[in-house]
Amino acid sequence: MKNNFKTRSTLTGCASSLVLLSALAASQGVLAHGFLEVPPSRAFLCQKGENNHCGGAQYEPHSTGETFKGFPNGAGGGPLQGPIDGKIASGGNSLFSALDAQSASRWQLTEIRDREIDFQWQYSAPHPATKHEYFITRDGWNPNEPLKRASFDSAPFCTVDGAHQVPVSGTKHHCVIPDSKSGHHVILAVWTVGDTDNAFYNPADVNILAEAALPGGWSPVGSIAPSTSLLAGDKVKARAFSATGENPQYSVEISIDNAEEGKPENWSFKLAEAINQAHAQIRAGIRDEDGNITPVQGTNKLYAQKESGVSRYEVQLDMKEDASASMAIAGLQPEYVLDKGRVGMTFAAQTNRRMNVEATLFDENNKQVGVVSQTVGEGNTELRIDVRSAPGAHTLTLVGTTEDGRTTRQQTQPVTLGGEGAGIEYDFVFPEGLSDYAAGTKVLQPKTDEVFECKPFPASGYCKQYTPTANGFEPGVGASWQSAWDKL
C-alpha cells in the first residue's frame, strides 16, 4: 500500500482492513490535478526516483506548481500575475519548495533529440483548460540562479488552445523547439485552468541534442555550462562523441593554473578558446547576428561541422582533493546532563572552508539519538543537537563536505550523558526509520513526548502509512492512530 494518500476522513474503529482500505482509496486525489508526463516534469522524475531530495513532490507530482494564472505578467503572487519569481516550480507551496532549487547539476536532464516534440500531460482531476503554453529559457540563461521570469523567453514557443474543454490524459500537443535552443534548458509547461484563478507550472529539465541547420553549416552539439569554482591543478575536459562513441580526436582538455582561472566564467572562456584553437570544424561561444561564434565569460554553446562527425559534447571536471581543507569538533563538554531523557547538546564545528556538515550522536548500541545538518562558514560555528536518549557512553560523529563536493572530513569524539532517562525505551523517534516499522516497533512521538508500539499484524501495515500530508496514522496525533498503535 503506497504512502501518498491524502486522507481526510476519520477512520477510527474500522471493523476490517477492507473497510479501512476503501476509505483510504476514496480520499486519494482530492487535491490532485495533473503533471507534464512527456517530457517528464521535474516533479514526475522525483516520483520515479530519478530526482532526489524532492520533499512532498515525490508523492504528489500532480499537485505541484499550482498558483495564480497570468505568467509572465506582473511580478507574481497575485491574480493574473502568475507565480512568484524564484518559486515558479513550487507555486509558492512550502510542501514543494525543494523543487525551486536550481543549479547546473541539481536535476536529471531528459535528452531531446528531435525539435518536433509531442508534449503530453497526465491528469488525475482535470479542470477545463483555456490553453496550454510552453516557454523555454532564454539563450545565455544562468542555470545556477533561481528560475524567474527573466530566465525565460517572454513569449511561449508553442500555445495550444484549450477551448475551455476538460483535457484528456495522453493528448499530444505537437510543438517545435526553436533552432537556437540547444544544450541545457528548462521548458516551462503551463496549463491554464478555465474555472479557477489558477494555472499549473511544470518545469522540465532538458538537454537539447537535436540538430538544427544554422548559417555556415554549423550544428549545435552541446554547451559549456560553468557550474562550480575550480582550484589550481584541476582539469576540465570537453569530451567529443560521434555516432559510434567517444571521439578523442576532437576532445579538448585544459588545466587550471590559479584561482582566477578557476572562477566558473573564466574556465568556461578558457576551454572555449582552447577548442577554437584546436579544431577548425568545432566552434565554442555565442553566435552574433552575423553568425560569428565568439567565446564569452559564461555559458558557451558548442557547434560542429557535419564533416567532423561530432554529434555531442560532454564537459567533465577532474577536481583534486582540497588537501588544505580542515574540520574539527570544538567546545565539546565531556558530559551533558539529561532531563527526563532530553538535553540540548551544544558544541562547535571548526572549519577553514565553507562546508555542509552533519553531526550525529550515537548511544552505546550505535543507535542514532540526535542529528543536525547545517552549512557553516570558515571559523567556529556553534551547533546544537536536540538529544533524546538514556544515560551512558555516547559517540559524536561530525562529517563535513566542502560546498563543491570535492573534499570530505570526519571526526569522532566520545561523550557521556548523565542525569535521568525518559523511562520507556524506544526504537525510533517518529518518523525516523519509517520504512522499518513493524509489529512491536516502539517509537517516541516528539510532539507529545509519549511512546507508542506498533500493533500486531495485520494492523502493523498501517504503521508505515505516513506523509506530511497524509498523517491519519501518525501515533498519538492522527485521526486513526489507534488503528495502528498502542500507547505505552
Note the pLDDT tens digit of each residue in 170-219. Answer: 999 999 999 889 889 999 999 999 888 889 999 999 988 775 556 678 88
The confidence band for 388, taking pLDDT boundaries of 50, 70 and 90, is: confident
Compute how many other C-beta atoms are within 10 angstroms of the C-beta atom of residue 265: 14
Instruction: Give the CA-trace dihedral at 12, 17, 21, 24, to 10 degrees.
Output: 10
pLDDT tens column, 234-250: 999 999 999 888 999 99
Residues 280 and 258: their CA atoms lie apart, in Å, by 28
Give 128 or 201, the one with higher predicted confidence.
Answer: 201
**Are 83 and 231 in the same domain?**
no
| Overall domain count for the chain | 4
Domain of residue 459 covers: 428-487
**Are 202 and 272 in the same domain?**
no
Last residue of a domain, one of 293, 318, 343: 318
Last residue of a domain, one of 276, 292, 318: 318
Cell of 470: 497524509
What Cα–Cα distance (Å) separates residue 168 from each residue in 44, 55, 117? Answer: 18, 28, 18
Residue 214: per-residue pLDDT: 64
Residues 243 and 104: their CA atoms lie apart, in Å, by 25
- Strand-pairing partners, residue 411, are 398
CA 336 to mean position of chain CA atoms: 37
Residue 194: per-residue pLDDT: 87
* 37 touches 47 (CB < 8 A): no
Residue 174 belongs to a domain:
yes
**Are 184 and 100 in the same domain?**
yes
Residues 335 and 88: their CA atoms lie apart, in Å, by 48
**Are 155 and 303 in the same domain?**
no
Is the pLDDT at 25 greater than 60? The verdict is no
Residues 133 and 291: their CA atoms lie apart, in Å, by 30
Residue 448: per-residue pLDDT: 87
Residues 310 and 411: their CA atoms lie apart, in Å, by 47
**CATH for 346:** 2.60.40.2550
Q: What is the mean pLDDT of residues 258-269?
A: 93
Residue 13 belongs to a domain:
no
pLDDT tens column, 276-317: 999 999 999 988 767 789 999 988 989 999 899 999 999 999
Residue 177 belongs to a domain:
yes
Last residue of a domain, one of 367, 387, 419: 419
What Cα–Cα distance (Å) separates residue 274 from each residue in 238, 277, 452? Answer: 10, 5, 64
Residue 368 belongs to a domain:
yes
Backbone angles phi, psi at 31, to 5 degrees: -105, 10
Residue 292: per-residue pLDDT: 84
